[in-house]
């Protein structure tokens, strides 16, 4: 039996309020975006953070559990797999004297939801009552275990206000919203199956109730329901504890029920206090590897904590068959599909703080190569063209039409034309390998991705009469302009992809000849083909104008109407809604970072002195119509030394999910922009890069930031980086691993574990 002290500890949020997100009351307008912000996730399943106890029928948001990889193709949009809604394992209903609890107008003062980001738990508090004013005090707790990813846990504590009341309490696993087929159902165990893929989900659950620390047997009133009825005494304390275990299995895998039952049994043996303790330790470990601390700017600190909370909860290093969707597991907008968001906006964080998670995410791309090859072949090209929107198999899942802002159907061409995704995946593979030195990954998976994506580009780019290779009919990151030719982002990334593939082939041939023999034989790549790729890379059109130093975003961009976007400042809707789709397409207004994104990813491709000119030109024409846009601008501004401009982008990016400025937070947090927050801090303000052979730092903090410190991993080493603006000092500590050399503001320094490297960045002198 657990003691009241244990319950109090469980329900007590971290004292330092910078770890806490707290929202009171119940606002039907905000409820869905709160559910996304307060979501808990462990990368295997996620639960949206709605109120703990159901009241009346006035629910704007119900609790929703999403399990990674459980995709189903529903009838209404044929061919588009969607992340299925899993059974709601948190449902609780209370009746006092036979009457349900109701929603009260003064709930604002009586209800509170607390996200404790340090511990990875959601705590609820509230006074609940029914029409006749019979009441209970409630405290609730739930978590998705980060140490045992199958396990979810809920604890509800109730304190009765009145005596001699007939109380009915029901806990259920609600399948009303579930789009899955029931395959097996018995008390405490259900197995579900998707209609299309045959993926199965098992849910095993155990629920107990204690009244004044006495276990009370339940009455079974349904296969997935537990019910209790008793007469209250004033001050009576009730504790409901529920543990669930969820497991997923493919069509041909063994029955997942057994694994769910075993996981549940071992969680029960451990008991909830120990289960919570190991979960909290797992979160502590993640924070130790990823925490970014900012002194002097509490709102930036809060934004970073919030971003890192969701990033650490989004990944699962143990699963190489799923990736992170645009809304992670916090909502089902975009149907749980995976975009370039993962490779470009999230992988930098995972690569440098959680390489095991980064590897698993890249293995998902390796495991979906067949889908990418098939997509390329179906469009008449060779190699691998990754799906713009990817689900479980790697087949293209981008819808062909959506409802536009004017409520008319609009064609979506991204699935066919937004092809830079293949180079984005290759980019993440290379960055991962470069930063981790994980040669086994390169040999066994990464090289194949690099070669097959390069092969795609080499077949996609066509040599024309001007002696250059062109890539026609694409969409770049700026999705306002469709069917364009020679998008600078696409072409330069494609060229980079081909060059890295050629380098990889050479490396394999010299360092691991057996791997090269196997891979080149399997892919049927010979020297002549590699040389052809090289010629494509040499001749590909990039749109770079050496007179102005500008990349033309695509062929003909500079001839389009130049609309002054500043004249539309203060608008409350995206610029394409103001100007209309056709006018936007005829204009130089850019939806999101495109050339600027290229500058953030491949600064070395910009000839000396041209970076600032490109940034200035394109930033002033950007409508930021995507939540992904500002982060790229923030990184580039910070690297250009425009720290205050960068801080503005940082704040605007942070506001997307924290301040409800972006309409779509309701459908889940914007995980890419959360990755972007980390990127602005670490790749921007600290200036971390690793294009060459060394890790490089080039710090430039905004005035408000007194210091910035964070851990990172680099080629098997754990480092801590501290930048202190007052002393203009950079301190790098090698916590584990071999000595290394690293560059600070372009000068090379040696670092060993004997003592930290302290460099005054104003008077630095390198020791090569
Ligand atoms: O991947 C993005 C895209 O760049 C802009 N629209 C939303 C997608 C998902 O976040």
At 270-279, the pLDDT tens digits run: 999 999 999 9
Sorting pLDDT into bands at 50, 70 and 90, what band is 656?
very high
To 5 degrees, how large is the angle CA 117–CA 428–CA 496? 150
Sorting pLDDT into bands at 50, 70 and 90, what band is 135?
very high
Please tell me the residue having the least CA distance from ligand 1 atom 10.
326
Domain ranges for the chain, please list them: 4-288, 686-768
Please tell me the residue having the least CA distance from ligand 1 atom 7.
626
pLDDT at 106: 67
| Mutate-to-test residue for ligand 1 from 626, 675, 676, highest number of ligand atoms within 8 A of CB | 626
DSSP-assigned beta bridge partners for residue 168: 95, 229
Cα–Cα distance measured from residue 594 to residue 488, given in angstroms and rounded to the nearest whole number: 8
Which H or E run includes 220? Answer: strand 219-222
Contacts of 537 (CB under 8 A, 6+ apart): 495, 498, 499, 502
pLDDT at 28: 77
Cα–Cα distance measured from residue 747 to residue 11, given in angstroms and rounded to the nearest whole number: 50
Query: Is there an atom of ligand 1 within 6 Å of 345 CB?
Result: no
Which residue shows structure tokens 């006035």? 58
Cα–Cα distance measured from residue 658 to residue 303, given in angstroms and rounded to the nearest whole number: 8
Ligand 1 centroid to 684 CA: how many Å? Answer: 22
Give buried/exposed letters for 58-87 (b at 16+ CB in 10 A, else e): eeebbbbbbbbbbbbbeeeeeebbbbbbbb
Cα–Cα distance measured from residue 194 to residue 183, given in angstroms and rounded to the nearest whole number: 10
Residue 341 Cα: closest atom of ligand 1: 1
pLDDT at 78: 65
The neighbour count for residue 367, using CB atoms within 10 Å, is 17
Residue 626 Cα: closest atom of ligand 1: 5
Ligand 1 centroid to 48 CA: how many Å? Answer: 21
Sorting pLDDT into bands at 50, 70 and 90, what band is 79?
confident
The neighbour count for residue 132, using CB atoms within 10 Å, is 13
- When mean pLDDT is compared across 96-105, 202-211, 241-250, 717-726, the lowest value belongs to 96-105
Residue 340 Cα: closest atom of ligand 1: 1
DSSP letter string, 556-620: TGGGSB---GGGGTT-SS-HHHHH-HHHHHTBS-BSS-SHHHHHHH-GGGS-TTHHHHHHHHHHT
CATH of domain 4-288: 2.70.98.40
Nearest to 619 by CA among 598, 637, 602, 643: 637
Query: Is there an atom of ligand 1 within 6 Å of 626 CB?
Result: yes
Mean pLDDT score of the chain: 93
Sorting pLDDT into bands at 50, 70 and 90, what band is 727?
low
Q: Report residue 565 as tokens.
A: 């976007």
Average pLDDT over residues 3-13: 92
Ligand 1 centroid to 339 CA: how many Å? Answer: 7
Q: Helix, strand, coil % (nearest 5) of the chain? A: 40, 25, 35
- Quick check: 52 pLDDT over 90? no
- Alpha helices, H only, 344-413: 347-353, 355-367, 369-378
Check whether 341 is labelled as a binding-site residue: yes
Ligand 1 centroid to 479 CA: how many Å? Answer: 9
Q: Report residue 746 as tokens.
A: 């372009």
- Quick check: 75 pLDDT over 70? no
Please tell me the residue having the least CA distance from ligand 1 atom 9.
326
Instruction: Tell me the pLDDT tens digit for each residue of 381-395.
Output: 999 999 999 999 999
Query: Is there an atom of ligand 1 within 6 Å of 326 CB?
Result: yes
To 5 degrees, how large is the angle CA 34–CA 36–CA 37? 65
pLDDT at 25: 78
The winner for highest mean pLDDT among 56-65, 220-229, 477-486, 719-728 is: 477-486
Ligand 1 centroid to 669 CA: how many Å? Answer: 13
Which residue shows structure tokens 């029901």? 170
Cα–Cα distance measured from residue 123 to residue 52, given in angstroms and rounded to the nearest whole number: 9
Sorting pLDDT into bands at 50, 70 and 90, what band is 590?
very high
Sorting pLDDT into bands at 50, 70 and 90, what band is 176?
confident
| Mutate-to-test residue for ligand 1 from 324, 326, 335, 386, highest number of ligand atoms within 8 A of CB | 326
Rg (alpha carbons) of the chain, rounded to whole number: 27
Cα–Cα distance measured from residue 557 to residue 555, given in angstroms and rounded to the nearest whole number: 6
Give the strands of the sheet with 65-73, arranged side by side: 40-41, 45-47, 65-73, 81-86
pLDDT at 661: 64
Ligand 1 centroid to 14 CA: how many Å? Answer: 35
Residue 334 Cα: closest atom of ligand 1: 9
Ligand 1 centroid to 625 CA: how many Å? Answer: 10
pLDDT at 766: 46
Check whether 340 is labelled as a binding-site residue: yes
- Quick check: 754 pLDDT over 80? yes
Please tell me the residue having the least CA distance from ligand 1 atom 6.
626
Instruction: Tell me the pLDDT tens digit for each residue of 631-647.
Output: 999 999 999 999 999 99
Ligand 1 centroid to 389 CA: how many Å? Answer: 9
Q: Report residue 718 as tokens.
A: 């754990």
Contacts of 6 (CB under 8 A, 6+ apart): 273
Determine contact, residues 385/471, Cβ cutoff 8 Å: no
- When mean pLDDT is compared across 52-56, 148-152, 298-302, 444-448, the lowest value belongs to 52-56
Residue 414 Cα: closest atom of ligand 1: 3
Cα–Cα distance measured from residue 37 to residue 31, given in angstroms and rounded to the nearest whole number: 10
| Mutate-to-test residue for ligand 1 from 314, 339, 624, highest number of ligand atoms within 8 A of CB | 339
Contacts of 680 (CB under 8 A, 6+ apart): 631, 634, 635, 638, 646, 649, 650, 653
Query: Is there an atom of ligand 1 within 6 Å of 389 CB?
Result: no
Give buried/exposed letters for 265-302 (b at 16+ CB in 10 A, else e): eebbebebeebbebbbebbeebbebbbbebbbbeebbb
Q: Which CATH class is domain 686-768?
A: mainly beta
Query: Is there an atom of ligand 1 within 6 Å of 628 CB?
Result: yes
- Quick check: 26 pLDDT over 80? no
Which H or E run includes 182? Answer: strand 181-186
- Quick check: 377 pLDDT over 70? yes
pLDDT at 767: 42
End-to-end, the C-alpha distance of the chain in Å comes to 63
Sorting pLDDT into bands at 50, 70 and 90, what band is 30?
confident
| Mutate-to-test residue for ligand 1 from 415, 601, 672, highest number of ligand atoms within 8 A of CB | 672
- When mean pLDDT is compared across 8-17, 49-58, 157-166, 230-239, the lowest value belongs to 49-58
- Quick check: 58 pLDDT over 50? no
Share of the chain above pLDDT 90, in %: 83
Q: How far is CA 373 from CA 175, 322, 453, 518, 623, in A?
A: 38, 18, 9, 19, 34
In terms of phi and psi (left: phi > 0; alpha: psi -120 to 50; beta: otherwise), the region of 174 is: beta
Which of 170, 396, 479, 552 is catalytic? The answer is 479
Query: Is there an atom of ligand 1 within 6 Å of 340 CB?
Result: yes
Determine contact, residues 216/106, Cβ cutoff 8 Å: no
Q: Is 479 a catalytic residue?
A: yes
Average pLDDT over residues 712-734: 92
Instruction: Tell me the pLDDT tens digit for each residue of 464-523.
Output: 999 999 999 999 999 999 999 999 999 999 999 999 999 999 999 999 999 999 999 999
The strand pair at 135-144 and 151-160 is best described as antiparallel
Q: Report residue 351 as tokens.
A: 């690569």
The neighbour count for residue 15, using CB atoms within 10 Å, is 8
Ligand 1 centroid to 549 CA: how many Å? Answer: 28
Query: Is there an atom of ligand 1 within 6 Å of 672 CB?
Result: yes
Helix count (H) and strand count (E) of the chain?
A: 24, 33
Share of the chain above pLDDT 70, in %: 95
Cα–Cα distance measured from residue 602 to residue 619, given in angstroms and rounded to the nearest whole number: 17
Helix 447-460 vs helix 488-511: angle between axes, to the nearest 10 degrees?
Answer: 130
């Amino acid at each position: 039996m657990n003691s009241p002290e244990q319950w109090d500890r469980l329900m007590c949020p971290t004292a330092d309020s910078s770890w806490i997100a707290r929202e009171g009351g119940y606002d039907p307008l905000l409820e869905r975006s709160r559910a996304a912000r307060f979501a808990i996730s462990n990368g295997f399943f996620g639960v949206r953070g709605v109120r703990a106890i159901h009241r009346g029928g006035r629910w704007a948001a119900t609790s929703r559990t999403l399990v990674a990889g459980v995709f189903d193709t529903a009838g209404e949009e044929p061919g588009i797999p969607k992340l299925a809604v899993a059974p709601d394992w948190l449902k609780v209903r209370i009746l006092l004297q036979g009457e349900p609890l109701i929603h009260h107008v003064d709930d604002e003062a009586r209800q509170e939801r607390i996200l404790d980001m340090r511990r990875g738990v959601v705590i609820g508090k509230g006074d609940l009552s029914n029409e006749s004013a019979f009441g209970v005090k409630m405290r609730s707790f739930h978590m998705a275990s980060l140490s045992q990813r199958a396990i979810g846990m809920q604890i509800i504590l109730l304190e009765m206000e009145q005596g001699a009341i007939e109380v009915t309490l029901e806990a259920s696993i609600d399948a009303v919203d579930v789009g899955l087929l029931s395959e097996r159902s018995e008390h405490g165990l259900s197995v579900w199956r998707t209609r299309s893929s045959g993926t199965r989900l098992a849910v095993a659950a155990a629920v107990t109730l204690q009244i004044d620390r006495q276990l009370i047997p339940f009455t079974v009133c349904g296969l997935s329901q537990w019910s209790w009825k008793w007469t209250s005494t004033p001050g009576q304390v009730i504790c409901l504890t529920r543990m669930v275990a969820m497991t997923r299995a493919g069509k041909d895998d063994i029955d997942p029920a057994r694994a769910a039952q075993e996981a549940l049994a071992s969680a029960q043996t451990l008991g909830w206090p120990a289960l919570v303790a190991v979960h909290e330790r797992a979160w502590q470990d993640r924070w130790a590897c990823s925490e970014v601390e900012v002194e002097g700017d509490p709102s930036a600190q809060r934004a970073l904590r919030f971003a890192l909370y969701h990033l650490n909860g989004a990944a699962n290093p143990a699963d190489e068959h799923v990736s992170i969707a645009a809304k992670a597991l916090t909502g089902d907008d975009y149907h749980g599909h995976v975009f370039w968001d993962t490779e470009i906006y999230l992988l930098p964080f995972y690569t440098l703080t959680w390489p095991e998670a980064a590897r698993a995410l890249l293995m998902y791309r390796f495991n979906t190569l067949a889908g990418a090859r098939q997509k390329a072949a179906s469009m008449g090209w060779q190699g691998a063209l990754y799906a713009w929107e990817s689900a479980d198999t790697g087949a293209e899942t981008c819808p062909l039409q959506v409802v536009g802002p004017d409520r008319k159907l609009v064609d979506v061409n991204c699935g066919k034309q937004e092809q830079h995704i293949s180079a984005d995946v290759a980019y993440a593979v290379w960055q991962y390998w470069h930063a981790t030195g994980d040669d086994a990954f390169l040999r066994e998976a990464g090289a194949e991705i690099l070669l097959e994506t390069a092969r795609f580009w080499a077949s996609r780019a066509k040599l024309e009469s001007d002696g250059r290779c062109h890539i026609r009919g694409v969409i770049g990151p700026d999705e306002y302009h469709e069917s364009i030719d020679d998008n600078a982002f696409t072409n330069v990334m494609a060229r980079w992809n081909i060059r890295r593939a050629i380098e990889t082939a050479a490396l394999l041939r010299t360092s691991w000849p057996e791997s090269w023999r196997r891979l080149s034989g399997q892919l049927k790549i010979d020297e002549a083909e590699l040389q052809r790729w090289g010629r494509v890379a040499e001749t590909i059109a990039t749109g770079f104008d050496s007179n102005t130093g500008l990349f033309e975003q695509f062929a003909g961009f500079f001839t389009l109407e130049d609309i002054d976007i500043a004249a539309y400042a203060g608008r409350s809707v995206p610029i394409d809604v103001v100007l209309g789709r056709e006018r936007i397409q005829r204009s130089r207004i850019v939806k999101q970072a495109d050339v600027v994104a290229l500058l953030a990813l491949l600064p070395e491709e910009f000839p000396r002195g041209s970076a600032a000119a490109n940034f200035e030109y394109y930033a002033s024409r950007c409508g930021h119509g995507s939540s992904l846009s500002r982060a790229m601008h923030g990184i580039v501004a910070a690297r250009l030394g425009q720290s205050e401009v960068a801080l503005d982008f940082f704040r605007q990016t942070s506001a997307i999910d924290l301040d409800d400025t972006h309409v779509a937070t309701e459908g889940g947090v914007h995980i890419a922009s959360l990755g972007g927050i980390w990127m602005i801090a670490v790749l921007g303000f600290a200036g971390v890069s690793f294009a060459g052979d060394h890790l490089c730092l080039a710090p430039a903090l905004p005035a408000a930031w007194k210091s910035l410190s964070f851990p990172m991993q680099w080629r098997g080493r754990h480092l801590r980086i501290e930048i202190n603006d007052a002393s203009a000092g950079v301190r790098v500590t090698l916590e584990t691993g071999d000595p290394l050399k690293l560059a600070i503001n372009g000068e090379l320094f040696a670092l060993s574990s004997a003592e930290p490297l302290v460099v005054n960045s104003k008077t630095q002198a390198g020791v090569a």
